[in-house]
Amino acid sequence: MTNRGASVGDPHCRNCGVRAAGAYCAACGQETRVALPTSRQFMREATGRVIAWDGRLWRTLYALVFRPGFLTQAYLAGRRRHYVRPARLFLAMSLILFAVIRFEVRTADTSSLFIVDDIDRATRPGGMPAARAGDAPEASAGGSVAKRDRAPPPFTPSVKIDVDDDLNFIVGGSDNFVGRELRERFNRFNKLSPEQKSDRLLDGALRYGSYVLFVLLPVFAALLKLAYVGRARRYPGRPRLYAEHLVYAAHLHTFVFLLLVAILLVPWQAVRLALGAALVVYVARSLKNVYGGAGWGRLARALFVALGYLAAVGFAIAGLVLASILLR
């Protein structure tokens, strides 16, 4: 029951009515001090929902950067109050990363980022020009269309999408509702100028990229789960549950985001290369500290996770491109 009519000196909680002698109510956790916050306190409380602007933030960042795997070990051991939670840390750093990417995109020349240069486009091995959208298929020496360029059978149930050097998308396959809708949307995209195509794809990547990160995170954790199946007795402290792998995945992704922010902001190429090498060392040390095991075993598992994750990233990039074109 809420006690709205309580006086200023009333020791009862204003939220649930239970007697609260300390700074916080023991029943519901609300603070007993109900004075309106100052502007500084208001902004700090608002941003604190995403990231903690207190000692926990700097303590967490220090441990994240200089103590690989420590945050995961501390969280799984139950020591959580002094550090920012992994989900909140992941969310905050992903927002910072995309903010920096947007800033860099605005200040950089991206007009030809997705466009292939015209160098040697007219000459291909064998002297054959590159295929373009709308071009008729070339005939072989016998006058028939080459097998690889033939139109698909009219009743093929699949839809095939090809792309040429000018970033024109050609939709083949079934002539059904889905195929016609895709052709219409891709044809509108093909009519854009190269600069407009680049802007369209960049805008889509920035718009939907954060959603892709939240999809890739559980995929990475699932790959870790597969890589570290078995041998529970030999390594009793190793993460076994999927949620435990998810915690490590969140911490590792957060460090990668932080590293990418530094790479984007640092103007020196040598420093960027050093940061890239630091990532390899960091992953190796964090795997050793969290999962343990022999060196060759960790390397084999890391390669398995890396290859699987690269495949997932490839599908994610293709999905971003399609979303940028179709969801408009």
Q: What helix, strand, coil percent values describe the chain, rounded to 5?
A: 55, 5, 40
C-alpha Rg value of the chain to the nearest Å: 27
Percent of the chain with pLDDT over 70: 70
Query: Tens digit of pLDDT for each residue in 214-261?
Result: 899 999 999 999 999 876 667 777 888 999 999 999 999 999 999 999
Query: Tens digit of pLDDT for each residue in 37-80?
Result: 677 766 666 565 555 555 788 889 999 999 999 999 999 998 88
Say what the pLDDT of residue 158 is.
60
Q: How many CB atoms lie within 10 A of CB 37?
A: 12
Query: Tens digit of pLDDT for each residue in 154-168?
Result: 444 466 777 776 677
Higher-pLDDT residue of 80 and 3 is: 80
Query: Tens digit of pLDDT for each residue in 258-314?
Result: 999 999 999 899 999 999 999 999 999 999 999 988 888 899 999 999 999 999 999
Say what the pLDDT of residue 328 is.
65
pTM: 0.69
Measured CA to CA, the distance from residue 84 to residue 48 in angstroms comes to: 10
